[in-house]
Amino acid sequence: MEEAWNSDESHYKTMYLEDAPVYFKPLRAVQATLTNEVSTELHGPYRKENVSYMGDPYKHRIKFQSQSITRTTDLVMYDILGDSKDRNGDFAGVDISSMLGKQSYKYGLTTENTDTLEPEVYYATVIPTAEQRDLGVAKYDKTAYENDNNPNNPKNQGSIWKKWDVKNPKNNEKIDRSQIKAIAIDARTTKAGERFILDKEGMLAAYVEMTATTDMNKVSVKNTNTAFRTARIFAGAEPTESDVFDTVEAPSFHSIIEPVILSIPVKKQTVTPQGLSVPNIRNAFKFTLKGGLGASLLDEKGQAIVTEKTNPDADGGLMEFGKIRILRPGTYVYTVTESGNRPGIQNDLLSEKTVTVTVNNEDDQKLTYTSTASAETPLVFTNTYGVEKVEPNIKVKKILESYGGISVLDISGKFSFYLKGCKRCTYAGRSSRSRFFD
């Protein structure tokens, strides 16, 4: 049938083509998007999920971009940080500098609009409900704003939203940042007090600055940060009352890398020749720990550790410096110095010894380490007893007694005294062998 249809000339019509220029524009479709991504000191590029070392700064970037065919107005962005128990970082500040100077679209304007966005930032110390993610009437609607009784409007007493002063940061100094659980960024009004409109393909971004926790109880917490955007999106030249509010959300995730917890063991021992008893040296020698460049001397709770100890036993003993917490990879050098002395005891020839700790991040989850001092191989200081020459001062007194009125004779120079070493001597009174002489 196909051949029969093609053979019938009545099925064809004549077309005439004329030379004419044809212009093609590149096709591009930009969708309205809200993204929430995290940048850390360890991994700088923004990503949906990221990790930090304890105590490091990091940022959430909340970014919105308009579609290529629509404009946006009445825009408010929220960042829900979470309850303290559910997050592993605290609020440190907010950077909206990229929003400043953002020009507002104005229909019918033939020149560049000099009126720009005047964003305002608010914070809350409670997690806002869906109803509380509403700042009330925008300032550009002056009369309605003044008469607005919405309990969530920051101007009204009792609102959970309080002003975070981005123009005068000193006004924020008394605010307890650790209690902040949510941020709101109001991008609805311009500097001239007009409605702000984000043009097609326009973009706004805010950076919520955080500080990673140093609380060991939160090492296992995986922080979920949720951003919301509410706005009216319209396709025409100006918004109309029929344009409805639209809300979208975007989560991001942040984790903490578990730090290293270690101790530095130090052993004090005394070597004594056979036949000699070691004198009691308990607490006679002091050992001092110092950290080299960047070496931590803080414990699990961030408190200073004890850096001076004395030997605990009569013949020396084992001591431990720690527990020491190390937050980041690197090579750390510690020194331990011995001081103190006792008669007849020669100190270790090296009064200062070093311990090298190497910390690695192998999996972005938990730090590992190696150390030149461990429970099996502690840092040892060896002292020796009985190696010094002893010069005793032995005094002998000769007494001549007389009885019954007999005159005492002058015996000066009449008697001789000889000192000899005894064989297998011990301390006087401890062995009868002390009576036998060479």
Closest CA to 342 of 281, 268, 283, 288: 281
C-alpha distance from residue 44 to each of 39, 47, 52, 253, 420 (Å): 5, 9, 10, 15, 82
Per-residue model confidence (pLDDT) at position 422: 65
C-alpha distance from residue 144 to each of 47, 117, 136, 147, 240 (Å): 40, 20, 10, 5, 17
pTM, two decimals, is 0.79
Closest CA to 137 of 147, 127, 128, 129: 147
Q: How far apart are CA 296 and CA 355, in angstroms?
A: 13
| Residue 95 CA neighbour count, 13 Å, CB half | 10
Phi (first) and psi of residue 93, to 5 degrees: 165, 180
Only one residue has tokens 């414990």, namely 299
- End-to-end Cα spacing for the chain: 140
Rg of the chain (C-alpha set): 42
Q: Tens digit of pLDDT per residue, the chain (438 long)?
A: 444 444 555 444 333 334 444 433 443 444 569 999 999 999 999 999 999 999 999 999 999 999 999 999 999 999 999 999 999 999 999 999 999 999 999 998 888 899 999 999 999 999 999 999 999 999 999 999 999 999 999 999 999 999 999 999 999 999 999 999 999 999 999 999 999 999 999 999 999 999 999 999 999 999 999 999 999 999 989 998 888 889 999 999 999 999 999 999 999 999 988 878 878 999 999 999 999 999 999 999 999 999 999 999 999 999 999 899 999 999 999 999 999 999 889 999 999 999 999 999 999 999 999 999 999 999 999 999 975 555 667 788 877 776 666 666 777 877 887 777 665 554 443 433 333 333
CB 329 within 8 Å of CB 367: yes
With a CB cutoff of 8 Å and minimum separation 6, the contacts of 157 are none
Per-residue model confidence (pLDDT) at position 427: 45
Per-residue model confidence (pLDDT) at position 13: 39
Residue type, 206: A
Q: How far apart are CA 371 and CA 389, in angstroms?
A: 39
Per-residue model confidence (pLDDT) at position 292: 97
Q: How far apart are CA 378 and CA 262, in angstroms?
A: 13
Q: How far apart are CA 202 and CA 68, in angstroms?
A: 9
Q: Convert 61-87 to b/e letters by CB count within 10 Å (16 or more is b).
A: bbbbbbbeebbbbbbbbbbbbbeeeeb
CB 106 within 8 Å of CB 219: no
| Residue 137 CA neighbour count, 13 Å, CB half | 13
Per-residue model confidence (pLDDT) at position 2: 43
Only one residue has tokens 């825009």, namely 75
How many angstroms from the chain centroid is the CA of residue 417? 78
* Beta bridge mates, 233: 72
